[in-house]
Amino acid sequence: MSDNSALLARRERLLGRNMSTFYQDPVHLVKGEGVWVWDAGGRKYLDCYNNVPHVGHCHPRVVEAICRQASVLNTHTRYLHEGILDYVERLTATFDPSLDTAILTCTGSEANDIALRMAQAVTGKTGVIATDHTYHGNTAAVSQLSTRMPPVGGYGGHVRHVPAPDGYRPLGGVAGEAFTEAWALALEAAIADLKATPFGFSALIIDPFFANEGFPDLPAGFLSRAAAIVKREGGLLISDEVQPGFGRTGTHMWGHQRAGIVPDVVTLGKPMGNGHPVGGVVANSETLNAFRKAFRYFNTFGGNPVSCAAAMAVLDVIEDEKLQDNARQVGAYAVAGLGRLAEKHGIIGNVRGSGLFFGAELVLDRAEKTPATDIATRVINEMRARGVLMGKLGIHQNATKIRPPMPFSRENADFMLSTLDDVLSGL
C-alpha cells in the first residue's frame, strides 16, 4: 500500500468527508502522457479508464492551443470572436444537417441542464423520461433524473423511468425484435403516465450507447423504434454524447449515429476539451431559438476563446491521428482478446462494447448470470496494484469499464489483457 494517509487526512480536512476516490489504495497521480500516468512514487500506470484526456494525457497540440490562446485573449461571448464560430461550424459539420447550431457551456451537466429546458421551451411541457440506471450530471435539475438517491425535498414528480436496456439479461427474457418491442411498450407506458399529469411529456433523454447502464449489445433498430415513439408523442429526443461521442465507439463519430437515429438535441462534455472544462448542446436552430427566447441563457465562461481553441485542437487531433479508426480497430482487437479470456475464465459471463469502450461482465455462474459484483471490485483493485487503471459499472456494478484515451494501441491492449489474465487466474 502507498502511504497516502497524510494526503487523505488533508483531503478530508479541506474537501470534507465522503469525497469519493478510486481504489482501496487511492492513486496519487503527478504526471500524464498519452495513455500513461505516473504516481508520486514514480510508478507508471496504463490508463484504461479516462475518457476526459480523449486524445491522450497532455497532448502537445491541445496544450499548445490552450497556451497560445490564453496568452492572446480570453473573454466572453458578448463580444464577437471567431473562435466560437469556427469551432461550432466544424463541430456541427460532423452531425446530421438538421443539427446546425450550438450553445457552449463548461460542463456536460450544464449542457444537460440546458437540454431539458430546450425540450420545455419547444413542447411547453416538463415531464422527462430516462433509464433507471443512468446518470446525466450533477446540477439540481439534472440530478432529478437519477434514481440513486432521493433529493432533499423529494423528487419533482416530473420524471419517469424506463428499465435500463440489458442485452445480456433482456427484459422478459426475450431477444431481438421482441426485446425492442418490450422496451417500446415500457416507453409508451411512461409517456402515457406523464401525459396523464400536469407535467406532460417533454423529452426522452438517453445515452445512445447506454454507457452507465453497462453498454449493452442491443438489437439493430432498438433506438429507431424509441425515436419514432418520442416523435409521434410530441416529445424531444435528447442524446447525451458525453461518453460515446467524439469517435469513441469507433464506427461513428457520435453514439446516436451508431444507433441509427437523429436526435433533436445532443449534449457534449467530458472529452470535448481533453480536460479543459468545456461542454455543449447541439440542436437545430428552431429548438435553440425557442430555448433562448424562453430562458435568455448566458454562460460567462461558455464558448470563451481558450475553451474553443482547446476543443478545436481535439477535433484536429482526432482527425489527423485517425483516432476514431484506431478506436474501431484496437477496440475490436481488445474485445477479441477478452473473448479468448472468457474461454479460459468462467467468471467472464459476457464480453461486449464498441471501439474503445468495452468490457467483460463478471458472473458467479454463467447459467444464472449471477452478478459477481464484489469480485469485480477485487479485480479492478488487483489491476491497479499491477499498474493498470480501470473501473466498473453497469446495472449490477459487475462489468469492467475499459474506456482508455483514444491513442490506445494493440500493445496497450495486450498489456491490459495479460494483466487481467493474471488477475483472473489468481482469484
Of residues 8-47, those binding its own copies (CB under 8 A): 8, 10-11, 13-22, 26-32, 37
DSSP state of 101: E
Radius of gyration of the chain (CA): 21
Helix (H) or strand (E) holding 39: strand 36-39
Q: What are 403's three cell numbers?
A: 474506456
Residues 178-217 that bind its own copies (CB under 8 A): 199
Using CA atoms, how far residue 270 sits from 105, 106, 238, 254, 381, in Å, is: 11, 10, 17, 14, 24
Which span sits near its own copies by CB under 8 A: 141-149, 222-230, 315-323, 367-375? 141-149
Site for its own copies contains 298 (CB under 8 A): yes
Residues 257-276 that bind its own copies (CB under 8 A): 269-270, 274-276
Helix (H) or strand (E) holding 373: helix 373-385
Q: How far is the CB of 96 from its own copies (least distance, A)?
A: 16
Helix (H) or strand (E) holding 266: strand 265-268
Q: How far is the CB of 81 from its own copies (least distance, A)?
A: 6
Which span sits near its own copies by CB under 8 A: 107-115, 317-325, 367-375, 406-414? 107-115
CB 366 within 8 A of CB 340: no
Using CA atoms, how far residue 275 sits from 57, 117, 154, 204, in Å, is: 9, 26, 33, 28
Task: Enumerate the H helices of 247-321 as residue ranges.
Answer: 255-258, 285-295, 305-320
In this chain, which of 1, 42, 97, 149 binds its own copies, going by CB under 8 A?
149
Q: How far is the CB of 54 from its own copies (least distance, A)?
A: 12
Name the residue nearer to its own copies (CB basis): 74 or 377.
74
Q: How far is the CB of 78 from its own copies (least distance, A)?
A: 5
Strands (E), 285-425: 348-354, 357-362, 388-389, 391-393, 399-401
In this chain, which of 209, 246, 301, 408 binds its own copies, going by CB under 8 A?
301
For residue 345, what are the β-bridge partners? none
Site for its own copies contains 108 (CB under 8 A): yes
In this chain, which of 48, 50, 223, 311 binds its own copies, going by CB under 8 A?
50
Site for its own copies contains 355 (CB under 8 A): no
How many C-beta neighbours within 10 Å does residue 79 have? 8
In this chain, which of 73, 189, 192, 220 binds its own copies, going by CB under 8 A?
73
Q: How far is the CB of 397 from its own copies (least distance, A)?
A: 15
Site for its own copies contains 116 (CB under 8 A): yes
Compute the residue count for the chain.
427
Q: How far is the CB of 139 from its own copies (least distance, A)?
A: 5
